[in-house]
Amino acid sequence: MRWLRAVPAVLVAATVLTPGAAAQPSSAPPPQSACANPSGVYPGAVPWGQRVVDASRVWPLTDGSGQTVAVIGTGVDAANAQFGPDQVLPVRGIGAGATAPAPDCDGRGTVAAGIVAARQNRSTTFAGVAPGAKVLPVRYLRPGGNSADSADPDALAAAIITAADAKAGVILVAVPSPVDSPALTAAVNDARRRGSVVISAASAKEEGAVTYPSATPGVLAVGSLNQQMQPVQRESGRHLSLSAPGADLVSVSAGGQGKLAHRWPVTDPSMAGAYVAGAAALLRAYRPELTPDQVITRLTLTANRPPGGTHDPRQGWGLVDAYTAVSADIPPDAVGPGGPLPRPVAGAIVPAAAPARPPVNELAGVVAIAGVGAAALVGLIVATFRRGRTRGWRPGRRA
């Protein structure tokens, strides 16, 4: 994975996500020196993924406050200064994941959590999609076992149930499993029944391979795109619903020791799910009456369609559009994910205008018009006064 290239070689060997590759069990946790480390503080322009999702347009309506997003995978380093006080809830460890030696030695959970909810900071242009949301880290991978093959589907099922128990409105599976299990399917169904939107990136890198719960019915499966809007992952199928940025990304980093710290460039198809999870948090905060299926319907119907305008097996129904999903006027009988694949309804999806200050040129025009009107009024008063004087009128005197 390119985003781990600056990490010591021992970590690369232990943590590269390679779906379909043979698992190499680790008998001991990696040394702390082998854990993920930051690239620095990101100094560049607004990251491209942040620009195309453009969640900042939604913030006048909602920033995701009141929502909890569970990030299931490797944990989250809550000490990073771009997370607010108490924004990251205490980590829940499942099985072997409860014994990890650091908040997030692997680093992927922190990257995902940052994309979801990192707050604005004057020292960087990077910010998360829903900076008002809280993050619940649920770690289920064994210490040192960071390949996808170490993802036990039954442990993942227990992690999803834990997130649902905590009333997470959005559950992001940041590290999906290459294998399925009845327990995992049951956990997804239970979480949906209890009101959680379950999101998982379709991150398999081999043709014909799928990940779980990405391929589980009822889950919002997300494909990943690069800056050229080309798919990054090789997983494909009708189960894909949306796509989002998944290459050359910026996010917060684990291992910053309490300071502002970022990692870039991050190329990992699993991170595409984090953008959609942030958009789902914004939508749930603004429209709390929506069911999980209705949230998925809105996100799917309002996506920016791929070339051809139809469902693409590697991009789903297109690139997530957070603003339109939150603000659009969508008929209550819009087709849901349980029925036929949704198609755009002509004239039905109309984004609302977010509250904003008038543009500078518009404001200037208003002032100019007001100035002309005022000048005309003054001129009329002066002319009337002069005309009255010629007729012998004085202030306080009746005609």
Give yes or no: residues 273 and 386 share one domain.
Answer: no
Last residue of a domain, one of 311, 327, 343: 327
Residue 165: per-residue pLDDT:
98
Residues 46, 184 within the same domain: yes
Say whether both 53 and 113 belong to one domain: yes
**Residues 273 and 378 both lie in one domain:** no
Closest CA to 253 of 17, 84, 23, 42: 42
Q: Residue 272 belongs to a domain with what CATH number?
A: 3.40.50.200
347 within domain boundaries: no
Domain interval for residue 13? 2-327
Q: Which of 214, 221, 264 is nearest to 49 (CA)?
A: 264
Q: What is the pLDDT of residue 96?
A: 76
Q: Does 9 map to a domain?
A: yes
| 340 within a domain of the structure (yes/no) | no
Same domain as 308, residue 374 = no
Report how many domains make up the chain.
2
What's residue 331's pLDDT?
Answer: 78
Residue pair 263/36 in contact by the 8 Å Cβ criterion: yes
> Do residues 218 and 365 both lie within one domain?
no
Residue 389 resides in a domain: yes
| Separation between Cα atoms, residue 307 and residue 247, nearest integer Å | 20
Angstrom distance (rounded) from CA 223 to CA 272: 7
> What integer pLDDT is reported at residue 327 of this predicted model?
95
Per-residue pLDDT in tens (0 to 9) along the chain, 399 residues: 434 333 332 222 223 333 333 233 333 445 556 788 899 999 999 999 999 999 999 999 999 999 999 999 999 999 999 999 999 999 999 987 887 778 999 999 999 999 999 999 999 999 999 999 999 999 998 655 445 446 899 999 999 999 999 999 999 999 999 999 999 999 999 999 999 999 999 998 789 999 999 999 999 999 999 999 999 999 999 999 999 999 999 999 999 999 999 999 999 999 999 999 999 999 999 999 999 999 999 999 999 999 888 899 999 999 999 999 999 998 766 774 344 444 444 334 555 544 444 343 343 344 344 444 444 444 444 444 444 444 444 444 444
345 occurs within a structural domain = no
d(CA 60, CA 10): 45
* Same structural domain, 79 and 124: yes
Same domain, 234 and 368: no
